[in-house]
């Protein structure tokens, strides 16, 4: 068995049965194996079905209890949606502080050699690295069927935790990430027309109340 790489945060008990890749990273439960190797960019569709039916943690695969934590970016906090099911809080904290893409603001999503047939997540998918990760813990959420799959509408948070570079994010870092992503959301809202722009600004202001002071 491959050993965990040095420098990772403590591995939650529930994640200790996960396989470890050649670099020393634990392979989240949702990851698709292709030709015997994990592709962290691709979610296993069968695992999504199992997560929905059994309320399984997206990271470790065990049932999630009363509190459900979503690993999202700041833009998802504006519209309160996620394309991924929730996790245990400790599994989510490990992801936010250990995953290279979430931990390193300059890390880029690799699109080369994406397996045939793999589609982007449903909803308005932004490929940028936001540099900031939000752990949104809630008691409830609802599912929304959309073209290309399902989205998760997040209930009111019982707790929010902001991370950047494997530590608690500063207010300035969060605002910088938000300000860099809002123009795209505003473009989408303008295209939708009607009351969409006003609704977006309302959601934006509500999200600002969740920032650390």
Q: How far is CA 30 from the centre of its chain?
A: 12
Q: What is the pLDDT of residue 102?
A: 86
Q: What is the pLDDT of residue 111?
A: 60
Q: Are 91 and 26 in contact (CB under 8 A)?
A: no
pLDDT digits (tens, 9 = 90+) for 124-176: 555 667 889 999 999 999 999 988 789 999 999 999 999 999 999 999 999 99
Stretches in the chain below the pLDDT threshold 70: 1, 105-128
- pTM as predicted: 0.88
Please compute, for residue 103, the number of CA atoms within 13 A of its CA located in the half-sphere on the CB side. Answer: 14
Q: Are 86 and 64 in contact (CB under 8 A)?
A: yes
Q: What is the pLDDT of residue 29?
A: 97
């Amino acid at each position: 068995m491959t050993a965990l790489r040095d420098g990772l945060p403590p591995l939650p008990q529930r994640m200790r049965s996960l396989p470890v890749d050649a670099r020393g990273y634990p392979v989240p439960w949702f990851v698709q194996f292709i030709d015997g190797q994990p592709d962290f960019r691709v979610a296993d569709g069968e695992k999504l079905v199992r997560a929905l039916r059994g309320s399984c943690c997206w990271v470790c695969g065990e049932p999630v209890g009363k509190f459900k934590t979503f690993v999202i970016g700041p833009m998802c906090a504006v519209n309160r949606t996620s394309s991924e099911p929730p996790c245990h809080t400790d599994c989510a904290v490990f992801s936010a502080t250990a995953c290279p893409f979430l931990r390193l603001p300059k890390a880029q999503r690799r699109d080369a050699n994406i397996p045939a047939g793999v589609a982007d997540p449903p909803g308005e998918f932004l490929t940028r690295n936001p540099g900031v990760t939000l752990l949104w813990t809630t008691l409830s959420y609802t599912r929304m069927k959309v073209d290309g799959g399902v989205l998760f509408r997040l209930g009111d948070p019982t707790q929010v935790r902001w991370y950047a570079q494997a530590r608690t994010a500063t207010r300035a870092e969060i605002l910088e990430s938000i300000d860099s992503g809002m123009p795209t959301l505003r473009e989408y809202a303008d295209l939708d027309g009607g009351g969409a722009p006003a609704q977006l600004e309302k959601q934006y202001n509500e999200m600002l109340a969740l920032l650390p002071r």
